[in-house]
Amino acid sequence: MKKRLLTLACVLAALAADAQTPVPSAYPPDPPPAPYTKQTVSQTTLRLLLSHYRQTGRHSAVTGGDGTEELTVQAQELALTYAPDSAQTLVANVGVDAITSASTDRIDYVLSSASRVDYRAHGNVGYRRRLAADPRVTVSGQSGFSLESDYFSLPVGAAVTHRSPDGSRELTLGVQAFFDDLRWGRVNPGYYRPVKLIYPVELRTQEWYSTYRRTSLNVTGAWQQVINRKLQLALYPEVAYQQGLLATPFHRVYFADDARTVRVENLPGTRWKLPVGAQLHWFATGRVVVRSYYRWYWDSFGLTGHTAQLETPVRLSPFLTVAPLVRLYQQSAVRYFEPFSGHSPEATFYTSDYDLSAFTSLNLALSLRYAPHLERPGRFGFQAFDVRYSHYRRSDGLAAHNLSLVVEVLRNRPRPAAN
Amino acid sequence: MTKQLHILRCSGAALLTVVAVATGCTTVKPYQRAQLNDARMQLGQRPLDQPDSHVHTYREGSTGGGGGTVSGGCGCN
């Protein structure tokens, strides 16, 4: 009986007890929790690219394969990537290059500092969308322009990408067309419109070409394949067809005759190109990744080329990566190439452009990446800073230095979903 | 004839590589992709590659193959 009374007393005490007496709070009461709303995160990336390029050489095509190739290019570009949701991405970029070239100054045989400077302005916009009907398929389109004093290009392109259900394979098929106009005068004071093809000063007594247009059609493929947890491969087969004015109108060619004839470069009006590239990336250790690349190239001018590249990014800390790079390249000459004063006057097509001669080249580079990926919700946060020094040397004596810099900021902004 | 043989050999090697890769792949689950998703493993061209790629397009006869433009869009060859 005593036990029952004690149990009853305990239960009643527990029911009646208050642990604390409520006291008025100095703080306002917490608001009731907001009802759940579905949100999407829009992502905006801004990227600034700066580069300074300096080149020396002694085989300028403007002076028939014998002359200075001194060149300096200052390039700057701003790129925007905006993804309002996970299905769509808008990309846009604009840039201006300032080009100081000693060889193009020789078109007129006038060495004036003003005529040495040229500019290239370029811009592109693109849109990419994952299909609602089949989320494994992404379609994209792009267009833009590239403008120089002696060049205007209008590119148009489209691509479709299919991803395998397990995400281990991705196939892309793309088509690109470039409509180029090689007339001079668009960015030249007093003209600001396309006027005519520009020939070397002593060869302006006749019109050398019947067309000023160049049209290029490129069909590009990409097959990306995950091989295992540490290895992935990509193959890039491409076919390109060009027609129109494929020679450069201000390139001189000197012939091997007593009169030392000089003419404007002449190349066939059509050209097929067939490059196939392969990338193999291997996550060797937690610190080291090996990035390898090989390309085989053939074209209907008779040029074949092989490119091999190896880059090994090494992670020094969670934020800092250093990446040495070596690139080897070899090409055969086009069948129309001869050096200065080497062409037969009977030849139909001829060039002394050493970019189309047989040579090997070595490119060594070292890049440094600092990527803290700072997040500032709703605001731009610093993502990464990349800098690369690159040295390029060709077996014909051309040498170049290139210093590049990329700064990237990113903003994530949550907003209510449409449905 | 030698050139055709060379093209044939290269095509054969490429085909063998494709077959070897296609048959030697293992399925990698999404939670096993930490290493594949590392920024350094990214396939394709990165922004920092662009300036050097531009130089190669101008200074060399070969173009395309996953890096830069195959043809058109610049005053180069």
Condensed to tens digits (0 to 9), the pLDDT of residues B1-58 reads 566 556 556 666 666 666 666 667 888 888 999 999 999 999 999 999 999 999 999 9
CA distance A90 to A46: 12
Element holding A129 (H helix, E strand): strand A117-130
Measured between beta carbons, the chain A residues lying within 8 angstroms of B75 are: 148, 150-151, 182, 248
CA distance B3 to A402: 36
**Residues A283, B7: C-beta atoms closer than 8 Å:** no
CA distance B75 to chain A (A): 6
**Residues A232, B41: C-beta atoms closer than 8 Å:** yes
Residue A113 has a pLDDT of: 44
Which of B22, B43, B54 is nearest residue A232 as measured by Cβ atoms? B43
Residue A32 has a pLDDT of: 78
User: Which is higher by pLDDT, A136 or B75?
Assistant: A136
Tell me which residue of A187, A359, A343, A169 sits closest to A266, measured CA to CA: A343
Q: Cβ(A248)–Cβ(A350) under 8 Å?
A: no
pLDDT digits (tens, 9 = 90+) for A298-350: 999 999 999 999 999 999 999 999 999 999 999 999 999 999 999 999 999 99
Which of B42, B51, B75 is nearest residue A51 as measured by Cβ atoms? B51
Residue B11 has a pLDDT of: 62
Q: Which stretches of A295-398 are DSSP H helices?
A: none
Q: Cβ(A98)–Cβ(A138) under 8 Å?
A: no
User: Is this structure's pTM higher than 0.90?
Assistant: no
pLDDT, chain A, mean: 91
Measured between beta carbons, the chain A residues lying within 8 angstroms of B27 are: 166, 168
pLDDT digits (tens, 9 = 90+) for A243-254: 999 999 999 999
Tell me which residue of A145, A162, A163 sits closest to A153, measured CA to CA: A145
Q: Are strands A71-83 and A137-148 parallel, antiparallel or unpaired?
A: unpaired
User: Which is higher by pLDDT, A20 or A318?
Assistant: A318
Tell me which residue of A108, A109, A61 sits closest to A340, measured CA to CA: A61
The chain B residue lying nearest A398, using CA atoms, is B59
pLDDT digits (tens, 9 = 90+) for A185-241: 888 888 888 888 989 988 988 899 999 999 999 999 999 999 999 999 999 999 999
Measured between beta carbons, the chain B residues lying within 8 angstroms of A236 are: 64-66
By CB neighbour count within 10 A (0-12 exposed, 13-18 middle, 19+ buried), where does B49 fall?
A: buried
**Residues A388, B48: C-beta atoms closer than 8 Å:** yes
Measured between beta carbons, the chain A residues lying within 8 angstroms of B60 are: 305, 329, 331, 355, 361
- The number of residues making up chain A comes to 419
Residue of B17, B18, B60, B74 to mutate, testing the A interface (most A Cβ within 10 Å of its Cβ): B60
